[in-house]
Amino acid sequence: MRTIEDLGNLEGKTVLVRSDFNVPLDDQRVITDDGRIRAALPTLNKLINANAKVVVMAHLGRPKGQVKPEFSLAPVADRLSELLNRPVRLASDTIGEDAHRAIAAMSNGDVVLLENVRFDKREDSKDDAQRAELAAEYAKLADAFVSDGFGVVHRKQASVYDVAQLLPSAAGDLVFKEIDSLSKATKNPARPYTVVLGGSKVSDKLGVIDNLLGKADRLLIGGGMGYTFLKAQGYEVGHSLLEEDQIDAVKNYMKRAQETGVELLLPVDVVIADKFAPDAQRKVVSATEIPADWEALDIGPKTAELYAQKIADSETVAWNGPMGVFEFEAFAEGTKAIAQAMQDAHGFTIVGGGDSASAVRNLGFDESKFGHISTGGGASLEFLEGKTLPGIAVLGDE
Ligand code: ADP
Ligand code: MG
- Ligand 1 centre distance from Cα of residue 344 (Å): 23
- Ligand 1 centre distance from Cα of residue 321 (Å): 6
13, 18, 35, 36: the catalytic one is: 36
Neighbours of 148 (CB within 10 A): 28
pLDDT tens for each residue of 116-156? 999 999 999 999 999 999 999 999 999 999 999 999 999 99
Contact criterion met (CB below 8 Å) for 18 and 148: yes
Q: Indicate which residue's Cα is closest to atom 15 of ligand 1.
A: 325
Residue 398, pLDDT score: 53
Q: Which atom of ligand 1 is nearest to the CA of 381?
A: 4
Q: Give dist(CA 321, CA 198) in Å, integer.
A: 4
Q: Indicate which residue's Cα is closest to atom 8 of ligand 1.
A: 321
Strands, sheet with 169-171, edge to edge from the N-terminal-most edge strand = 88-90, 111-113, 53-57, 14-18, 144-147, 169-171
- Ligand 2 centre distance from Cα of residue 192 (Å): 27
Among 25, 37, 42, CA closest to 80? 37
State whether residue 346 is helix, strand or coil: coil
Neighbours of 171 (CB within 10 A): 27
* Residues lining ligand 1, Cβ inside 6 A: 198-200, 204, 223-224, 241, 296-297, 320-322, 324-325, 327, 353-356, 377
Beta bridge partners of 350: 318, 372
- Ligand 1 centre distance from Cα of residue 383 (Å): 20
Q: Give dist(CA 161, CA 333) in Å, integer.
A: 40
354, 376, 377, 391: the catalytic one is: 354
65, 96, 109, 378: the catalytic one is: 378
Of 325, 351, 362, 363, best ligand 1 pocket probe by most atoms within 8 Å of the beta carbon: 325
Single-letter code of the amino acid located at 86? R
Contact criterion met (CB below 8 Å) for 178 and 155: no
Catalytic site residue 234?
A: no
- Ligand 2 centre distance from Cα of residue 202 (Å): 12
In angstroms, what CA-CA distances link 37 with 5, 24, 155, 320? 22, 11, 19, 21
Residue 171, pLDDT score: 98
Catalytic site residue 89?
A: no
Q: Which atom of ligand 1 is nearest to the CA of 326?
A: 16
Contact criterion met (CB below 8 Å) for 261 and 215: no
- Ligand 1 centre distance from Cα of residue 276 (Å): 13
Catalytic site residue 378?
A: yes
The bound ligand whose nearest atom lies closest to the alpha carbon of 354 is 1
Catalytic site residue 36?
A: yes
**Burial track 71-93 (b if 16+ CB lie within 10 A, e otherwise):** bbbbbbbebbbebbeeebbbbeb
Q: Indicate which residue's Cα is closest to atom 16 of ligand 1.
A: 325
On the 0-12 / 13-18 / 19+ scale of CB atoms within 10 A, 363 is middle
DSSP annotation of 389: P
On the 0-12 / 13-18 / 19+ scale of CB atoms within 10 A, 305 is middle
The bound ligand whose nearest atom lies closest to the alpha carbon of 381 is 1
Q: How does pLDDT run along the chain (398 residues), one tens digit per residue?
A: 999 999 999 999 999 999 999 999 999 999 988 989 999 999 999 999 999 999 999 999 999 999 999 999 999 999 999 999 999 999 999 999 999 999 999 999 999 999 999 999 999 999 999 999 999 999 999 999 999 999 999 999 999 999 999 999 999 999 999 999 999 998 899 999 999 999 987 887 877 888 888 889 999 999 999 999 999 999 999 999 999 999 999 999 999 999 999 999 999 999 999 999 999 999 999 999 999 999 999 999 999 999 999 999 999 999 999 999 999 999 999 999 999 999 999 999 999 988 898 899 889 999 999 999 999 988 998 998 888 999 999 999 65
Q: Give dist(CA 26, CA 144) in Å, integer.
A: 35
Contact criterion met (CB below 8 Å) for 116 and 76: no
Residue 204, pLDDT score: 78
Question: Pairing state of beta strands 295-299 and 269-273?
Answer: antiparallel
Among 282, 310, 313, CA closest to 296? 282
Contact criterion met (CB below 8 Å) for 41 and 84: yes
